[in-house]
Amino acid sequence: MNLRLQTPLATAVAIAFGFIILASLLIPDLMDVRNQILNWAILLAAIALFLGFANLFQVHLQKLRNKEKSAYSSILIVAMLVTFAITLWEGSQGVTAAWIFNNIQLPIETSLMAVLAISLTIAAAQILQQRKDLMSLVFIGTVFILILSSGPLFGIELPVFTRTIGPIVNNFLSVGALRGLLIGVSLGTLASGLRILLGSDRPYGG
Amino acid sequence: MTYHSGQDPEESLPDWLKALRKRQSQEPTSPEGEDSSAPEPDEEEPDWLRDIRQRYGFPESGPETDSHQKPENALSDTQPIIPSRAVETRPNHEREVFSQGPMAEEPIEDTPEQPSQEWINEEPAAEVPQPESPRREFPDWLEELGEVEGTAIKEDELAPHIPAFTEGTEPELIPGVLPSWLEAIRPGGAFPQEDTRSEEMLPSAEKIGGPLAGLSGVLPAEPDAIQSFKPPVYSARLEVTDSQSQHAAAFKKMLEEEGKPKGDQGHQVALPIRLINTLIGTAIFVAVLVPLLSQSQLAPRPEPDLLPENAAVFNRIDVLPSEAPVLIGLDLQPALYGETKAAITAVINHLLERQARLVFISTQPTGPGIVERLLQEELANQPAGAEGNYTNLGYLSGGMAALRSFFSDPRSATVSMSALGLNPWTSPAFDSIDSVSDFALVLVVSSNADDARIWIEQGASEFPNGLIAITSAQAAPLLRPYLQGVPQTLQGIVSGVQGAVLYERLRSQEVGGGRDLWDAYSFGLGAILLLILLGGLSGRLTHMRLERTATKITYTEPETKPAGDQLGN
Amino acid sequence: MNLSALQWIGLCLLLILFFTFWGRNNSKRALRSIPAFRQLRRTIELSVEDGSRLQISLGRGGILGPEAATAFAGLTLLRQVADIAADSDQPPIATTGDGAIMLLAQDTLRNSYKRLGIADQYHFRLAQTTGLTPFSYAAGALPRILDREVSATALAGSFGEEAGLLTSATQLSGGFSLGGSENLTSQAILFASADQPLIGEEIFATGAYMGSGPTHQASLHAQDVLRWVAILLFIVTALLPLFGGLR
């Protein structure tokens, strides 16, 4: 299928299914149709997950063929294949699969989170050096208040922060600010969806 | 070239022209230099002029002349109009310019035009033989010019007026052959072979001085027109300001570095940053590790009234009947398992103590693995966990859409357990479960506020018995509106390490996962706060010092000379 | 006083259509300057000139939830960047943590290459999945950044805390980082660690600022109007009980 025929067809399908889902909010009889379409979407999402796995495998296999960082790619491919085979044989709740998850994946991801904590500490320390605007000062001030109100520091609790200032910031200021940001994000999400329904935004290519 | 009108033009003529006219009126001009194929010149007029007169005044014999004549006769009715005198049309101010000052006395430099201009300006003289053929009708003003005598110009004294064209007497023009008069004024052969100009006007080569010394046939520039003098010596030294020097040096450096191979600048830059990163990481690591290993309990636990939402969760679970089915949505990322492990353990321990039937489901691929780890390792002391008295529905693919579908009809949802051929709904534990509303309590465990929000927003109407959450500390502020809203869609939250410690306190536990982490959490927070404070201040002070001591480039305005100086005035 | 979901959708649709056709050639209908996009354009041009590579990270959110909108914004950015830099020495690459986004990214790049007439230069490795969980996705994208194969990283999609790893790595390698997400936690992290963060709904303005067409600009104006409508509704709803009590 060439590009000329593919683009209008894809757009038509996207608009049609989008309007069916939207119309199902108004027309109760379309609920079954909506559920069916959602089931298809869920199925496609699962297939896409598998395709993501396949792409990961394919990319590193190509690196191995081109001898680009072949050691890293070879370890990754072998580990991927072994884990897949074991999980397929034993099931996701099998002993070996659980051991791999508990002793390899979980510690690695937890360690990355710990590295992130250090990176964010450094970023917070550098923010005043890199930016000199008011928002950066507000940001650093808020960070200090929230850390002081999160609990005792070095075993010493500061009640003025944990009981007064912290709850005000947590329960009122941050909630209001977060709500405002969420409303903006929601409006952006709404506009993005409508652009796709109108056919002017085609993230599926073309 | 000088043009005069209405005033005595004779005085405005250059000296050489005056001399020429005087000579021509007194002496016959003698040609200089080369031989000329033209007939002998008259005493009063140049040879080329005589040629013209002869050609057009008296037809000559010869093929050339014949050939010239024929086209002329043929074109007799298309004779060109006699050009008007330039003096008549030239504006006054230009005449003034040319009549005044030393420039007016300069000899004409455009030599090729001179012959044509001269014969235009010349007035008819009485000595010039008139052609016998009838003359063309000329305009009166042109004839008057010929008749004017004793005018300021007096150019007729120098050279008689010769009409440019005479009807019937013009020699025929041979096609492809230039007439002699045109040949005479042609740039290539502009100069007649014999130079008819006077000696005074064109002194000999030996008499020419200055820059044109040794050249023949040139107009003398000295001593009147040009005063040769030694040109001023300008300094070759370039005056460069300091800022220009700096810019030039920077530019030169840039050009020199262009050819050099680039060094590993990224590595050089990253090295000190990596060192600082390592030091900061080590400080945080030590601050967390020491209390953890020492199992110190220095930090005081939070009071129950500090987090009322924790108490709400406790109260909800505490009133559950035995064997109550509880749906637990575990949308937890492995990376944040460490933070929420203490809270999850405390709450699920409470549920298991209440003998609740736990049903796990996850919309994350790693959710089922975390469930197994939680129940097999963290809750191994619980009989339910050890015996596997729980149901793990597995992974629900499809995100929010899948969750919506699960809430509508849980038995028809495609979960990984059913995909593997296992039907968990056949278990006796699910006899009373047809929809999610049949669960006594729904607990969502999430590290991300967005995942928890999906559960709340999509399933709030489906959970009549309430929904509680266990989240990371970062998600709690985002879920607080659901706690405080009307209707209340979220009945309670246990968030972070602080929530775990408080929940353990509510359950009267002196030891637990939360308590173990509390001191490490406290010292770690303190270390981070100090590092941010010290790092920020030192960085800021360093930056300020660098700004103060940085070399400033000053721009100096170049000296601008007034316009007069540039013109030499 | 409240508007139902359908009323919000209808109002937004009308506003988008209105702004698309009204004043499209009006030069006064300008957008406010967002330094992030200005610097991104400059970075794209510089990368083309000096032969370095750009990485567009599309996040790990799927297409079946609200995170899809930011993923689509990221795909719009990818298309615009590809149209500019696809035929350079080092074409831009896209990384993602979701299979569906990966497929859409490959489709986007393939069509960009076809439009530019260099379809033979496209290969599937230009859009790749580097991991299927958030942190594994970030871990898979880190080597390319730390090895300085990329000079700039644009994070446009649904991210969580793992965004901090990507921006920190970019900073360590001396590159430029720009980041936007619908996730509030990642916005806070990006504000601290990215060179140019996109806060709030600025990520949805990507299409309008990168020249994707009049509809993108129209939807941006529609969002502005709806924001004011929401503010007015909040104020009116908050004051109504007061007026009701005064009666």
Q: Which residue of B284, B373, B477 is in closest CB contact with A170?
A: B477
Neighbours of chain C (3+ CB pairs under 8 A): A, B
| 3 state SS of B200 | coil
Strand partners, B330: B445
Question: Dihedral through CA A92, CA A93, CA A94, CA A99, nearest 10?
Answer: 90
**Subunit contact C192:A205, Cβ cutoff 8 A:** no
Q: Nearest-5° angle of CA B141, CA B142, CA B148?
A: 85
What part of A 169-188 touches B (C-beta under 8 Å)?
170-171, 174-175, 178-179, 182
CA pair distance B326, C220, nearest whole angstrom: 44
Q: Burial of B143 by CB count in 10 Å (0-12 exposed, 13-18 middle, 19+ buried)? A: middle
Identify the pLDDT of residue B182: 80
What part of B 451-510 touches C (C-beta under 8 Å)?
454, 474-475, 478
Identify the pLDDT of residue C49: 87
Q: For residue range B305-363, what is the model confidence (pLDDT) as tens digits? A: 888 999 999 999 999 998 899 999 999 999 999 999 999 999 999 999 998 989 999 99
Residue C164 forms contact with B (CB below 8 Å): no
**DSSP letter at B297?**
-
Of B232, B197, B193, B226, give the one whose Cα is nearest residue B211. Answer: B226
The pair of structure tokens assigned to C79 is 């298309």
Query: In terms of residues, how long is chain A?
Result: 206
What is C59-109 written as a DSSP string?
ES--SSSTHHHHHHHHHHHHHHHHHHHTTSSS--EEEES-HHHHHHHHHHH
Taking chain C, what is the end-to-end CA distance rounded to the nearest angstrom? 18
- CB distance B22 to B42 below 8 Å: no
Alpha-carbon gap: A124 to the closest alpha carbon of chain C (Å): 6
Query: Could you tell me which residue, B216 or C189, shows the higher pLDDT?
Result: C189
Identify the pLDDT of residue B567: 40
**Average pLDDT of the segment spanning C24-42:** 78
Identify the pLDDT of residue B423: 73
For an interface test with C, the pick among B268, B337, B397, B400 (most C C-beta atoms closer than 10 Å) comes out as B400
Using a CB-CB cut-off of 8 Å, the residues of chain B touching C185 are 448-449, 474-475
Q: Which residue of B335, B497, B521 is in closest CB contact with A113?
A: B335
> What's the one-letter identity of residue C220?
L
- CB distance B391 to B360 below 8 Å: yes
Identify the pLDDT of residue B55: 80
**Subunit contact B372:A98, Cβ cutoff 8 A:** yes
Using a CB-CB cut-off of 8 Å, the residues of chain C touching B450 are 66-67, 183
**Subunit contact B333:C133, Cβ cutoff 8 A:** yes
Q: Which residue of B266, B365, B400 is in closest CB contact with C174?
A: B266
Q: What is the pLDDT along chain B (569 residues), one digit of tens a residue?
A: 444 445 566 677 878 888 888 887 775 544 444 444 444 444 567 788 888 888 876 554 444 444 444 444 444 444 555 555 544 444 444 444 444 444 444 444 444 444 444 454 444 444 445 445 555 566 676 666 555 444 444 445 555 556 555 555 555 677 777 778 887 776 654 445 555 555 555 556 566 666 777 777 777 666 666 666 777 777 777 788 888 888 888 898 888 877 766 655 545 555 677 788 889 999 999 999 999 999 888 899 998 888 899 999 999 999 999 889 999 999 999 999 999 999 999 999 999 999 898 999 999 888 988 998 888 877 777 776 656 678 888 888 888 888 888 898 888 776 776 666 677 777 776 778 888 899 999 999 999 888 899 999 888 888 888 899 999 998 998 898 898 888 889 999 999 999 999 999 999 988 888 999 999 999 999 999 999 999 888 887 877 777 777 655 545 555 555 544 444 44
Query: Could you tell me which residue, C114 or B238, shows the higher pLDDT?
Result: C114
3-state secondary structure B506-545: HCCCCCCHHHHHHHHHHHHHHHHHHHHHHHHHHHHHHHHH
Identify the pLDDT of residue B328: 95
Strands B441-446 and B492-495, how do they pair? unpaired
Q: Which residue of B269, B448, B478 is in closest CB contact with C160?
A: B448
**Subunit contact C223:A184, Cβ cutoff 8 A:** yes
Which residue stretches of chain A have pLDDT < 70? Answer: 1-6, 69, 205-206
For an interface test with A, the pick among C133, C223, C235 (most A C-beta atoms closer than 10 Å) comes out as C223
Identify the pLDDT of residue B74: 46
Residue of B nearest to A106 (CA): B334
Of B170, B130, B35, B148, give the one whose Cα is nearest residue B87. Answer: B148
Neighbours of chain B (3+ CB pairs under 8 A): A, C
Q: For residue range B220-253, what is the model confidence (pLDDT) as tens digits? A: 666 666 666 777 777 777 788 888 888 888 898 8
Identify the pLDDT of residue B41: 46
Q: For chains B and C, what is the number of CB pairs under 8 angstroms? A: 49
Identify the pLDDT of residue B135: 53
Using a CB-CB cut-off of 8 Å, the residues of chain A touching B478 are 178, 182
CA pair distance A79, A62, nearest whole angstrom: 16
For an interface test with C, the pick among B448, B486, B528 (most C C-beta atoms closer than 10 Å) comes out as B448
Q: For residue range B3-19, what is the model confidence (pLDDT) as tens digits? A: 444 556 667 787 888 88
**Subunit contact B366:A101, Cβ cutoff 8 A:** yes
- In this predicted structure, which of B480-494, C26-40, C219-233 has the lowest mean pLDDT? C26-40
Tokens 């194969």 correspond to C149
Interface pTM, i.e. ipTM: 0.88
Residue A113 forms contact with B (CB below 8 Å): yes
Strand partners, C177: C153
CA pair distance B178, B18, nearest whole angstrom: 32
Using a CB-CB cut-off of 8 Å, the residues of chain A touching B526 are 153-154
Supply the pTM of this predicted model.
0.69
Tokens 């929809």 correspond to B435
Identify the pLDDT of residue C126: 92
| 3 state SS of B62 | coil
Residue of A nearest to C63 (CA): A45
> What's the one-letter identity of residue B21?
R
CA pair distance B69, B177, nearest whole angstrom: 12
Using a CB-CB cut-off of 8 Å, the residues of chain C touching B336 are 161
Residue A146 forms contact with C (CB below 8 Å): no
Q: Burial of B91 by CB count in 10 Å (0-12 exposed, 13-18 middle, 19+ buried)? A: exposed
Of C168, C164, C127, C178, give the one whose Cα is nearest residue C146. Answer: C168
